[in-house]
Amino acid sequence: MSVHKLILVPTPVGNLKDITLRALEALKACDIILAEDTRNTGMLLKHYEIDKPLQSYHAHNEHDKYSDVIRQLEAGKRMCLVTDAGTPGISDPGFLLVRECLKAGLEVECLPGATAFVPALVKSGLPCDKFVFEGFLPVKKGRKTRLDALQNEVRTIILYESPYKLLTTLKDLAACMGSERQASVSREISKLFEETVNGSLQELHQHFTRKAPKGEFVLVIEGKNDA
């Protein structure tokens, strides 16, 4: 690993075996690991017998932290950025630091690896040649505007959702797009209780009303038929 370079390292979204050999090599070779949650990353490093200093880097401190990270990189520190699961920057911290590193003339590398929405999309049975990833919908402000914008989207739509808001989101999507719009809901990707349920938005709402949502969810929604 060369100096003056930040490496974004994807980590498993579930099964710890999903980490790549290159990811392990990068973590072993760096001087410092920037972690969204040092406790979670510490467990991953312990599993693979990697002993490296950890620094906290998350959504609540990144605006205050990125300047210090850049100074460390410019001083020759070899640094990796990881989040709790998946690829940094995908609904997780990373974008701001990457942008500022590039402004400072520092090299940025992102290793290929795990991200939850790809397997959910591919096994949904919905078209995956063209799709739009929206991450999490706004909770309050801007939510209706975002839903209205997606109403006429012809590409397959991908959302992330927590178990606490899944029923509300399915209800809002059905009200906006029609209760018969087809969708797929996957939870706990790559974990022991991984599950995918397909059906109309109304059927999915009924399913998770009967079966309380647990885990982290990926919603894949059929695009509007423009025929």
Indicate whether 206 and 134 sit together in one domain. Answer: yes
Indicate whether 149 and 126 sit together in one domain. Answer: yes
Domain boundary among 73, 89, 110: 110
In a domain, 226, yes or no: no
Structure confidence by residue, pLDDT tens digits, 148-185:
999 999 999 999 999 999 999 999 999 999 999 999 99
Work out how many domains the chain is built from and give that number. 2
Which tokens in the block code for residue 150?
């997606």
Residue 186's H or E segment, with its range, is strand 182-187
| Confidence class for position 226, pLDDT limits 50, 70, 90 | confident
Question: What angle in degrees, to the nearest 10, is found between the helix axes of 201-210 and 166-177?
Answer: 160
User: Locate tokens 């460390």: which residue?
Assistant: 72
Percentage of the chain beyond pLDDT 90 is 95
Q: What is the pLDDT of residue 116?
A: 94
In a domain, 193, yes or no: yes
Percentage of the chain beyond pLDDT 70 is 98
Q: What is the pLDDT of residue 20?
A: 97
Q: Which domain holds residue 133?
A: 117-221
- Number of Cβ atoms within 10 Å of the Cβ of 114: 22
In a domain, 175, yes or no: yes
What is the DSSP annotation of 52-113?
--EEE--TTTHHHHHHHHHHHHHTT--EEEE-SSB-TTSSSTTHHHHHHHHHTT-EEEE---
Indicate whether 91 and 136 sit together in one domain. Answer: no
In a domain, 185, yes or no: yes
- Number of Cβ atoms within 10 Å of the Cβ of 156: 21
Domain boundary among 79, 110, 141: 110
Q: Is 149 helix (H, G, I), strand (E, B) or coil?
A: helix
Domain boundary among 84, 110, 136: 110
Q: What is the pLDDT of residue 9?
A: 98
Mean pLDDT value of segment 207-226: 94
Going 152 to 153 to 157 to 160, the CA torsion angle's sign is negative
Indicate whether 18 and 39 sit together in one domain. Answer: yes
Task: Give the CATH number for residue 51.
Answer: 3.40.1010.10
Structure confidence by residue, pLDDT tens digits, 57-108:
999 999 999 999 999 999 999 999 999 999 999 999 999 999 999 999 999 9
Q: What is the mean pLDDT of the chain?
A: 95
Indicate whether 54 and 95 sit together in one domain. Answer: yes
Indicate whether 57 and 18 sit together in one domain. Answer: yes
Report pTM.
Answer: 0.91
